[in-house]
Amino acid sequence: MSEFHGVTKGLRAALTERGFHPSRLRGQNFLLDENILRAIVRDAGVASGDRVLEVGCGPGTLTQCLLDAGAEVLSVEIEPRLLALARERIDAAAPWRWIEGDVLASKSRLLPELEAALDAWGTYDLVANLPYAITTPLLVLLAARAQPPRRMTVLVQLEAAERLCAEPGCKEFGAATVRLGARYAPRMTRTVPRQVFWPRPQVDSAVVRLDPRDGHLAPPEAQALEELVTKAFAMRRKRFVRTVEELASAAFWSALAAERGWPEGLRPEQLALEDWLCAARRLAALRS
């Protein structure tokens, strides 16, 4: 254990002294249970020497637990006062770097400074307590990178966790489920009650770990999948084949439906992940 004993000790008082009030808009709910913080690090399988990207380090509570596990940590934090507090509380000699700024330059682009840092870094994991508003775009953007995280372990609102881990046929199964499922196999490792946060959110949270799948899509196949997902979930109440029919001939879709055993009227959220991947591969092969 580092000298930073009790990573959450005195946190509320330290924030109050600085006149800091958590922003609901930015999803600033701080996890105050040190046992759960360290459990998240264990769930992530962090080992000595691992490189870990942390998004939203806040006052550095999870950061310190990652450092205690022997990780080299790169944190991104949008709030200067929180980053300043983290820098006060973490040993200056620790293998920790930070970037001050919004991790998302836009909904379709990461912060350029982060992109450059990750390109230079090589293999890394993501371990983070994510604000609800950025969960889906951030995970999708990271997964789509040429060098994506080796694995991702995130604490998110329970609703987001259910969406990430959704099975075909349920209402939570959507575009993000398919986009991330093409590269990662998600599983919920634990639920986290709302009362261990400050301020207390209105919903519970959960930890989701995403491990890499075998057989990644080639770039043309990934592009085909993106087109299929975008068109199909824009009209998810319609039949899947009807939503994507303009991407290939009627004969192509009829043959694929017969081969995969798709019933008449199959909707996008009812397709298994393997159906999505097969459709993307066949569409890319057709174009080539």
* pLDDT on residue 216: 83
By DSSP bridging, strand 205-212 and strand 152-157 are: antiparallel
Query: Mean pLDDT across the stretch 25-41?
Result: 88
Reported as a pLDDT band with limits 50, 70 and 90, residue 25 is low
Q: Are 103 and 138 in contact (CB under 8 A)?
A: yes
Torsion of CA 203, 204, 207, 210, to 10 degrees: -40
Per the prediction, the chain carries an average pLDDT of 93
Contact 97, 73 (CB under 8 A): yes
Q: Is the pLDDT of residue 129 over 50?
A: yes
pTM for this model (two decimals): 0.92
pLDDT above 90 covers what percent of the chain?
84
Looking at residue 132, what is its pLDDT?
85
Tens of pLDDT, residues 197-210:
988 899 999 999 99
* Whole-number pLDDT of residue 71: 98
Measured distance CA(62)–CA(31) in Å, rounded: 9
Domain boundaries, the chain: 11-212, 219-287
Instruction: Please check the confidence at residue 138 and state whether its pLDDT lies above 90.
Output: yes
Give the C-alpha separation, 159 to 172, whole Å.
8
Q: How many other CB atoms sit within 10 Å of the CB of residue 42? A: 12
Domain 219-287: give its CATH architecture: Orthogonal Bundle (1.10)
| Cα torsion 153, 154, 158, 164: sign | negative
Q: What is the pLDDT of residue 131?
A: 85
**Would you call 281 helix, strand, or coil by DSSP?**
helix
Looking at residue 2, what is its pLDDT?
A: 45
Looking at domain 11-212, what is its CATH homologous superfamily?
Answer: Vaccinia Virus protein VP39 (3.40.50.150)
- The mean pLDDT of 3-32, rounded to a whole number, is 75
The Cα 261–Cα 30 span in angstroms is: 48
Q: pLDDT digit string (tens) for 223-243?
A: 999 999 999 999 989 999 999
